[in-house]
Amino acid sequence: MANLESLKVNPPTNRLRGDLPKVGIRPTIDGRYGGVRESLEDVTMGMARSVAELISQARHSSGHPIECVIADTCIGGVAEAAECEAKFQREGVGISLTVTPAWCYGSETMDMDPARPKAIWGFNGTDRPGAVYLAATLAGHNQKGLPCFGIYGRDVQDLGDQEIPGDVQAKILRFVRAGLAVATMRGKSYLSMGGTSMGIAGSIVDQDFLQDYLGLRTEVVDMTEFVGRMNKEMYDQEEYELALAWVRENCPEGADTNAPEKQRTREQKDQDWADSVKMALIARDLMVGNPRLAEMGYREQAQGHNAIVGGFQGQRQWTDHFPNGDFLEAILCSSFDWNGVRQPYMVATENDALNGVSMLLGHLLTGTAQMFSDVRTYWSPAAVKRVTGYQSAATDHGFLHLINSGPSALDWTGEQRVSNSSGTKPPMGLRARDEDAPHGLKAWWEITAEEAGACLDATKWCASDLGYFPAGGWSTDFTTRGGIPCTMFRINLVKGLGPVLQIAEGQTISLPDEVHDKLDQRTNPTWPTTWFVPRLTGQGAFKDVYTVMAHWGANHGAISYGHLGADLITLASMLRIPVDMHNVPTDGLFRPSAWHRFGSGMDDTGADFRACKNYGPLYG
């Protein structure tokens, strides 16, 4: 059993350089004094405060509450717009939301920052034409090439009603989640630890894509940096001893499936554990730095690379000579380690930067640990029956085998308890381990020590397959619980087209043990398995499960808890990345209003491609 005393829940920490981005609220108003403006001041500022209160209940992926900055005055013209912008610059505002109950002077009051995600909520009321301002100003944004989201409630409200309707709340929060993801990435780094792995295209790190579309710089370190730091003991040696002892207590070994005559000795395996722990410490220090190194005399190395995401090459130039990176990747991507429950890191196996940044998008939207996996096999009902004799209504359409030796975060055992099938926050009075709560994943700051311990207890660490990893190492072995809603997604690069995003919402399933074992043995039983069924529409790429597999754009996928396809589509539109494949209901699509002018009412996918091509990369 895991030692729960070692799994304290840590408070939120901003481990990267730079302040967290804030949400700017811009209350705009009819600038005509003499009765019009005066009658609207309190109502308009009241809208701003109500929106700020709503947003402030949400959190950054770091766990910190989201801060809102409201303009000092209502904005009635260009002078007050400039004063608001100056305040936003001082306060570190990353996205802006304009709110108004009335007509205002559109182009004189609008947010003109070209790189800042922006939206307008035009109050649906009859007393004053907030919707008219919304339409006029969105037209101005479109004419000036500054995409902006429009928010308009379905039902008419009375002027002065400070309640935010549910449909408006949903769009505001979706805009905020996606916009803050964009603002959080800007100026951070992707850390490439090594180079291209086994010719995998995703690990040919495209620095222009990362810079132009995501605002990320690329930092590169050769894997010999790990050798040098290990030889020089350039890591916190006290933490190393703590971590190694924690691993011995909380990471039970599983089967060694290598031929007996090829198995590594107990002494070699113990050294593999020691090296694996050192590698995890070094990778983390490379990403975000460690002040302890400065105390040891390594001032430059103590700074790290300010990496919000990274990748470890591993195969084959590393794994032919040193233990594999599976422990490094799995434990860093999990929401807990020897220091307790903390924000997961985003580390891509095989340095697949495209899958790594996809994981990053999912984490920024949810605060949960992400899973990196091979999209390995489509199992048809006929094939399952032939191999195992099993058939069930749950597998009538077949399923996908998601499996990978690397960073399948331990959260993906599914041993955490959530309130419902679509959320991560337990309602008031529901304890995290209540037996009637379904299994799933939580935002890291909601995870209890008991839940982290349950994830550890459900995981075995198997000796690496020496055919793949001749220098040893360890691989996680677990099976994800069934019934967990999740989203598989990935960014792909296509020459002449650029980046495109694909999304498949669905859920995990459980198989009878004997069926699971027969199927699992055909691949590698020492690796973590997730059985996944995408939600089908009967059309296009989602005609059936086989077609989903056939349309998938690479060998890897990022998997996030919950159905967040709509959030990903909103985020992709901000980054000007079109979506070529998704199964999100059309009423959940929320993109800048300009997308309508490209024909979204007739052809959603085509309009998305045309709009993204027209506006080009956000930072390009």
User: Is residue 590 within 8 Å of residue 566, measured between CB atoms?
Assistant: yes
Q: Is 350 known to be catalytic?
A: yes
Structural contact between residues 326 and 462, judged by C-beta atoms closer than 8 angstroms: no
Output the furthest CA–CA distance in the chain (Å, rounded): 93
State CA 494 to chain mean position distance.
Answer: 22
Mutual angle of helices 353-366 and 565-575, in 10-degree steps? 120
Beta bridge partners of 18: none
Q: How far apart are CA 455 and CA 474, in angstroms?
A: 17
d(C-alpha 440, C-alpha 424), whole Å:
8
User: Taking each helix axis from N to C terminus, what angle separates 381-388 and 513-520, rounded to the nearest 10 degrees?
Assistant: 100
Question: What is the spatial distance between Cα 183 and Cα 214, in angstroms, rounded to a whole number?
Answer: 9
| CA gap 406, 527 in Å, rounded | 8
Residue of 350, 446, 451, 477 with catalytic role: 350
Q: Which regions of 517-617 does DSSP assign to beta strands (E)?
A: 529-534, 556-561, 579-581
Q: Residues near 606 by Cβ (< 8 Å), separated by ≥ 6?
A: 598, 599
- Asked if 1 contacts 454 with a C-beta cutoff of 8 angstroms, the reply is no
Residue type, 565: G
Beta carbons of 144 and 151 less than 8 angstroms apart: no
CA-wise closest residue to 475 among 241, 250, 273: 273
Quick one: which of 23, 329, 312, 74 has its CA closest to 182? Answer: 23
Q: Is position 374 annotated as part of the catalytic site?
A: yes
Closest CA to 510 of 523, 525, 529: 529
- Per the residue annotation, which of 80, 374, 465, 580 is the catalytic one? 374
Report helix angle 207-214 to 353-366, nearest 10. 20
CA distances from 32 to 77, 137, 487, 566 (A): 10, 18, 49, 40
Residue 428's CB: how many other CB atoms inside 10 A? Answer: 6
**Could you list the active site residues?**
350, 374
